Amino acid sequence: MTEEFAHQLLSTRRQFLSRSAAGIGSLALGSLLTPNALANEKNSIIQNALQYAPKAKRVIYLYMAGGPSHLESFDYKPELERMDGKLMPKSMTEGEELAQLQGADLWIMGPQAKFARYGQSQQEISSVFPKIAEVADDICIIRSMKTDQINHDPAHTFMNTGTSISGRPSMGSWLTYGLGSESENLPGFVVLSSNTGAVSQPISARQWHSGFLPSKHQGVEFRSLGDPVLYIQNPDGVSQKVQRDVIDAVQELSKLRNDIVDEPEIATRLSQYEMAFQMQTSVPELADFSSEPDHILEMYGTKGADGSFAANCLMARRLAERGVRFTQIYHRGWDHHARIKSLMPAQAKSVDQASAALIKDLKQNGMLDDTLVIWGGEFGRTPMAQSDGRDHHINGFSIWMAGGGIKGGITHGATDDLGYNAVEDVVHVNDLHATILRLFGLNHEKLTYRYQGRDFRLTDVAGNVVSKILA
């Protein structure tokens, strides 16, 4: 919240506190019950970390949970096709960590989708993504991703927090901790998850938890069923006026009390009541797509905020417009242990149009330049068949990024001929995090938080900025 807004708040609301204009301004989005010394320490850490000219102002992360196959999407392997049905060379897999294929015979399975080249940049993309292929020149495909964790739960945790140990802050929390929110009536870190229908692997709220960072940095889930934000709706029988009266009474009583007890936290809490009330108004407006022209709805392929991936992509753009720093959309159902040939195109269809529409829409609004879009899952899938599907795979997989200071129309890195190991310009999860922070002008080694006696970072103890993909 800006100072100006704080003043406005004070003058438009009944003047409830005489001594805290500055206090509200600086504490508006929530404060810890900590002495100012700590706040100053935090500021100096962030000043110290802000070392580069920021390119991105916000992130929209299209999180493909379950581990989409790179071999049917963005990493074409002719050699794999040639070796289809043959045994995997032992030298490649011996001593390697496998998930469900541990101990099984390892048969190679060729790509189950056709590939072609698209755009001026001639990026190679599978036929399951015809719409994403249309924005080929805007996206940077990274084919050399690597992660450490081979099971869903720890792999999600690793992708989001830079370590597989539970209890660390997620990247959205780190970003809002570092840069705050630009929104006055919305949280800085919003999580959406789209309806997939099918039974999918679970996603834990741990993935957007703030860990040891103050809880105001926690991702707030915007839901498509029930209230869009938990507890956002007035109770039954409580009109907006009644709610306002109650909040006003709380503020007036607290002002009187504060004259006696003189407690700074009271001012903060009252400003949070204001923020809550603002959210109660702004959130329903946000979920109301009636102001969107038809051609935009059609471009995304949605009719309204129905919890589909398409609707959530449009919602993400609306959130971005309103200053939300980090929006993450979880789309589950990529865990293709079986029937990949039929399931992959079906699953791809559920995200293809809207993913591309988001890029096009941001571009036409001029927002793509400072909005970083990331598309990818927690790991890839094995070149080896698991029945007629593929198992989890961590040594090489693909994601793509666009906008926000990323060079479009390029493919970065490569896996080996069989798509097994990332071998060229390897990008580890920690490198990805370092790069994301760098796009915001932050040095990942300097953005730290002292907890249990240690300075923690999003990148743990690793991470190199992937400078080749920076625009």
Partner 1 sequence: MRTHVTLSGFAAILLAFPMQLTAASTVQFDTDIWPIFVSRCIECHGEQKQEGELRLDSPEHIRAGGQFGDAILAGKPVDSAIFELISLPTDDKEAMPGRGERLSKSEIDLIEKWIEEGAAFDGWRTDMQTAATKAVAAEDSATIPTLASLPSKPLSFNRDIRTILSNNCSACHGPDEAAREAGLRLDASEHASKDLGGRNAITPGSLPESEMIRRLFHDDPEQRMPPVHSNRQPSDEERLLLAAWVNQGAEYQPHWAYVTPTKEDAFPMQGKKNPIDELIRKELISSGLRKSEEADPRTLARRLSFDIVGLPPTDAQVNRFAANPSTKEYSNLVNELLESPHYGERMAMHWLDQVRYADTNGYHSDETRKVTAYRDYVINAFNDNKSYDAFTIEQLAGDLLPNATQEQQIAAGFNRMNQLSAEGGAQSNEYRAKYAADRVRALGSVWMGATLGCAECHDHKFDPFTTKNFYEFASFFADIEERGVYSTGETWDPIMHLPTMSEQEKLNQIEGDISDLEEEIAAKDIAESLSKWFRMSKFKPGAGWHPVRPSSITSIHGTLFEQLDDFSVLATGPNPQYDDFHTIVPTDNREITGIRLEIMGHPTLRKGLSRANGAPIEISEFAVRYTDSDGQVHDVPIREAEGDRNFFGSKADVTVDGKLHSRWLIRANKPITDKVTVVYTLENPIPRDTVGEIEVILFQRPLNKRTSVGRYRLSVTSDPAPEFNTTLGMPNPYLDATLDDFAAANQIADRFYRATAKEFKSEHSQLDKLHLERYTLVASLDNTLISNSVDPRMTRILPRGNWMDESGEIVKPNTPDFLPALDVEDRRATRLDLAQWLVRKDNPFTARVFMNRLWKLYFGRGISSRLDDFGAQGQWPTHPELLDGLALEFQESGWDVKEIIRLLVTSDAYKQSSYASEELRETDPENLLYARQSRLRLEAEVIRDNALAIGGLLNASIGGDTIKPYQPDGYWRNAQTFGGESLQYKTSKGDEQYRRGLYTYWKRSFLHPSLLAFDAPTREECTAERAVSNTPTQALVLLNDPTYVEAARSFAEKIIREGGTSSDERIQYAFNRALSREASSDEATILNTLYAQHREAYGNDADQAKDVLSVGQSMAPTDIEPAELAAWTSVARTLLNLPEAITRF
Under rule CB under 8 A, residue 453 binds partner 1: yes
Q: What torsion do the CA atoms of 297, 303, 304, 310 make, to the nearest 10 degrees? A: -70
Strand (E) positions, 30-147? 58-64, 115-118, 123-126, 139-146
Site string for partner 1, 182-221 (x = CB under 8 A): -----x-----x-----xxxxxxxx--x--x-xxx-x-x-
Min separation Cβ 169 and partner 1, Å: 12
User: Taking CB under 8 A as the criterion, which residues in 338-377 touch partner 1?
Assistant: none
- The answer to whether the CB of 207 falls within 8 A of the CB of 157 is yes
Other beta carbons within 10 angstroms of residue 24's beta carbon come to 21
Under rule CB under 8 A, residue 90 binds partner 1: no
Under rule CB under 8 A, residue 285 binds partner 1: no
Share in percent of the chain as helix, strand, coil (round to 5): 40, 20, 45
Under rule CB under 8 A, residue 454 binds partner 1: yes
Under rule CB under 8 A, residue 36 binds partner 1: yes
Q: List alpha helices for 288-380, DSSP H.
A: 294-300, 309-321, 340-364
Under rule CB under 8 A, residue 40 binds partner 1: no
Which of these ranges, 15-23, 225-233, 339-347, 349-357, lies near partner 1 under the rule CB under 8 A?
225-233
Which of 20, 386, 398, 459 is the binder for partner 1 (CB under 8 A)?
Answer: 386
- The answer to whether the CB of 376 falls within 8 A of the CB of 120 is no
User: Taking CB under 8 A as the criterion, which residues in 122-141 touch partner 1?
Assistant: none
Nearer to partner 1, 267 or 436 (CB): 267
First vs last C-alpha separation in the chain:
31
Which candidate, 5, 92, 141, places its Cα nearest to that of 384? 92
User: Taking CB under 8 A as the criterion, which residues in 392-421 touch partner 1?
Assistant: 392
Nearer to partner 1, 32 or 414 (CB): 32
User: Taking CB under 8 A as the criterion, which residues in 144-163 touch partner 1?
Assistant: 150-154
Which helix (H) or strand (E) segment is 221 a member of?
A: strand 220-222
CA gap 419, 163 in Å, rounded: 25
Which of these ranges, 115-123, 246-254, 346-354, 417-425, lies near partner 1 under the rule CB under 8 A?
246-254
Under rule CB under 8 A, residue 295 binds partner 1: no
Three-class SS string for 376-388?
ECCCEEEEEEECC
Under rule CB under 8 A, residue 239 binds partner 1: yes
Under rule CB under 8 A, residue 273 binds partner 1: yes
